[in-house]
Amino acid sequence: MKRIILVVLLAVSAGLLWAAESGIASWYTADRPDALTANGEIFDNTALSAAHKTLAFGSIVRVTNNANGKSIEVRINDRGPYVENRIIDLTPEGARQLGYYDEGIADVTVEVISEPEVPETLYINGSETGWYTLQVGTYTNMENAWTVYTNIKSAGLRPTVEIVNDRMIRISVSDVQAYLVDQTREKLASVGVTEPLVRGARNPYL
């Protein structure tokens, strides 16, 4: 049983298991031609890119408009949307291809096609963005580890799992930008993790 739980933990952490996400998509644009996305790229109204709250930059997702069945693949390079119940923000071009540009929003399903091991970003120095890892704990009991892992997922975070040795694994929330550290700590506290070890600043791209 412990071996099975460990395999599942590692598979989910490595991105081998994906669940479709359904909700509201919107579209957004920049107020200036040199506006940057959260990963440092110049925002392009005509690109098939998108903003998502948690997926690694460079992830490719399939977005399907549930009303008309149209689907496109977009690349995640920004963060958002920050409106309740919305799960993804597309460019104007993406909204046009999915057929909801005039309406502004659509009920969609988002499926992850691929997620890079190393997030694609133009920020190459940790001191530029302030990246941190919040170490939750190290566990020898796989059932306890699974409970902690699922609780963290339920808080809207993306836990990672590391093998420390044959009998021990470490659970963390990695690659957290400085401005999100306090919010991440609050989410962890909501599921009983009150004193995570904060390590950083660090460069997640080396």
Q: CA-CA distance, 178 to 57, in Å (whole number)?
A: 17
Radius of gyration of the chain (CA): 18
Please state the rounded mean pLDDT for residues 131-151.
90
Q: CA-CA distance, 137 to 149, in Å (whole number)?
A: 10
Local structure of 90: helix, strand or coil:
strand
Q: CA-CA distance, 201 to 175, in Å (whole number)?
A: 10
- Cα–Cα distances in Å, from 156 out to 12, 19, 34, 139, 152? 14, 14, 31, 21, 7
**Bridge-based pairing state of the strands 86-90 and 131-139:** unpaired
Quickly name the fold that domain 21-114 has. Answer: Barwin-like endoglucanases (2.40.40)
pLDDT at position 10 is 53
- In tens, the pLDDT along 5-64 reads 555 555 555 554 556 899 999 999 987 787 878 887 889 999 999 999 889 889 999 999
pLDDT at position 129 is 47
- Cα–Cα distances in Å, from 120 out to 51, 79, 95? 14, 13, 23
Single pTM value for the model: 0.56
pLDDT at position 165 is 81
Q: Do domains 21-114 and 124-202 have the same CATH topology?
A: no
Task: Please report, for the chain, the start and end positions of each structural domain, with discontinuous segments joined by +.
Answer: 21-114, 124-202
- In tens, the pLDDT along 178-197 reads 667 888 999 999 999 988 88
State the Cα torsion 88-201-119-125 to the nearest 10°.
120
pLDDT at position 40 is 78
Q: CA-CA distance, 39 to 51, in Å (whole number)?
A: 10
- Residues 6 or more apart whose CB falls under 8 angstroms from that of 174 comprise 133, 134, 160, 204
* CATH number for the domain running over 124-202: 3.30.70.1070
